[in-house]
Chain A
């Protein structure tokens, strides 16, 4: 894992930046939320992909690309979380003086 992070840090940073932007926007966006059922289905798909990655059943380059995608997705999620949290804090600070 640490090897992959070291080797792919620039790509992961890119994913995190995309996530940061998306998280920043998502706090103030309306009418784009996924339904609970869709979130559950998406979570199930992601869990299945993680399981496939951990069990190493996907061979060769496809296996690498799966690992790569999951890492980028994780970096994206982290970026989203940080972006949303920062926007939330930013909005809270702006609301307080008024």
Chain B
């Protein structure tokens, strides 16, 4: 031992190469050891749930910055870094993710994208939300503006996933979850979407509520286009159900005696109150136009086209608003088609016969009140009468043989007079028309069958 002490006093010259070695070692090992420690720290905190993690290693000292989602998680992460072999000191720059009060999450949809914003409690939940958003909103760009925040209500993720399903039903709008209150605003993508969203919101977990649901439905649109060239009436848009569909289709068939009805209607909920009644009245007005279109959008009726003569245009403008249910509005842009060339009496007779061969003037059962379905037919007859202004016309009423003769005679006279009155109201001179009733004395078909009796109940026009 004493020898060792004696020898050690002579070891100092070796310090010179040792210092050189030290310098070389410092030069070549510093960066690799820093990289190795950074890798070790990265591996150590891989299983910790952190955000905005930053690791800086200088020498063997680690500066560790991260946002943790709980105090326990924060401590665990720091400990993980401290226990990495080789780490000398840890400068702890970790902090807890900010707590949000109130806890707000939003989804905003416009035409091309969905923007998700507000707070989200954990990366795993954020990933689930983004995955669900991309799945539900196929093809729509999803923009992530969500930021981590503590303080989310329990079952936050379930609620958000439910709300994302509702975003898919929106054309545009915004859904906000504030603590446990859901607010919705915007426009549903399809008819029935508003109702579907309201139904889905009933499945919100206990404790969550709908603070405001201001989702608007898209306009409930029904359209009818009368094309005299193609001889067709095209119906498009929506009807409330199959029953209303059948009613409207039948009404269109009755009112448009000379047109083929092309029915492209679809059934959808969300119709405004009084829809069928309003559409039937509006179709009646359209049937009186030579060409035109009808657009029923929510509670607004827009009618445009050409009436057959001035009187008809005036009547449509004045009467349609009165015939619609309360709360409905009309925008009628009805002009008058140019008058057709005058014809002589024989041509007039032929035209009357042709028109009455396609449709017949209908009355309410057992009365002389003209059925509203016949308005279009009567306008065509009135327009024809206007083309032969010098001709006198006998309007003859006929009945079937049901009931007694006196009653049938009276009814036939009254029905003929009702038609004359219609023409007079339309602006034609009363002295050109003569109402005559023949009761059941001039049948054109067998009164033994219902079909024959229907043919016998008729109005004939005879040009004198």
Contact = CB atoms under 8 A, between A and B. Distances in A.
Given A8-B25, A85-B4, A88-B3, A64 B88 contact: yes
A33 B6 CA distance: 8
A3 B29 CA distance: 13
Contacts, number: 110
Given A8-B25, A14-B21, A22 B3 contact: no
Nearest to A87: B7
B52 interface: no
A78 B22 CA distance: 16
Contacts of B29: 7-8, 11, 68
Given A18-B18, A22-B13, A60-B58, A65 B88 contact: no
B344 interface: no
Contact of B60 (A19, A63, A73): A63
B26 interface: yes
Nearest to B40: A3
B18 A72 contact: yes
A21 B17 CA distance: 11
B82 to A, nearest CB: 13
Interface in A72-98: 72-73, 76-77, 80-81, 84-85, 88
A32 B10 contact: yes
A7 to B, nearest CB: 6
Interface in B1-31: 3-4, 6-15, 17-18, 21-22, 24-26, 29-30
Given A8-B29, A61-B30, A65-B26, A18 B14 contact: yes
A67 B61 CA distance: 12
B11 A23 contact: yes
B59 interface: yes
Contact of B12 (A2, A15, A34): A34
B36 interface: yes
Nearest to A39: B9
Query: Which among B7, B25, B33 has the highest number of chain A CB atoms within 10 Å?
Result: B7
A34 B6 CA distance: 10
A29 B25 contact: no
Nearest to B58: A60
Q: How large is the interface on B (under 10, 10 to 19, 20 to 34, 35 or more residues)?
A: 20 to 34
B89 interface: yes
Interface residues of A, number: 41
B327 interface: no
Given A7-B86, A64-B88, A81 B10 contact: no
Given A23-B7, A32-B13, A80-B11, A63 B61 contact: yes
Contacts of A64: 26, 30, 33, 59-61, 88
A73 B11 contact: no
A29 B10 contact: yes
A80 B8 contact: yes
B123 to A, nearest CB: 31
Nearest to B14: A22
Contacts of A50: none
B85 interface: yes
Contact of B18 (A2, A27, A73): A73
Interface in A30-66: 32-34, 39, 42, 56, 59-65
A52 to B, nearest CB: 13
Contacts of A59: 58-59, 61, 89
Contacts of B85: 2-3
Contacts of B15: 76
Contacts of B14: 18-19, 21-22, 76, 80
Contacts of B26: 64-65, 68
A64 B10 CA distance: 28
Contacts of B22: 65, 68-69, 72
Interface in B25-64: 25-26, 29-30, 33, 36, 58-61
A26 B88 CA distance: 36
Contacts of A19: 11, 14, 18
Contacts of A88: 3, 7
Q: 7 smallest A-B Cβ distances: which pairs?
A: A22-B14, A64-B59, A3-B86, A26-B10, A33-B9, A60-B58, A84-B7
Interface of A: 2-4, 7-8, 11, 14-15, 18-19, 21-23, 26-27, 29, 32-34, 39, 42, 56, 59-65, 67-69, 72-73, 76-77, 80-81, 84-85, 88
Interface of B: 3-4, 6-15, 17-18, 21-22, 24-26, 29-30, 33, 36, 58-61, 85-86, 88-89
Given A3-B86, A19-B11, A68-B25, 18 more contacts: A11-B24, A14-B25, A15-B21, A18-B14, A18-B17, A26-B7, A32-B10, A32-B12, A60-B59, A63-B88, A64-B26, A64-B30, A64-B60, A65-B30, A65-B59, A68-B22, A72-B25, A84-B7
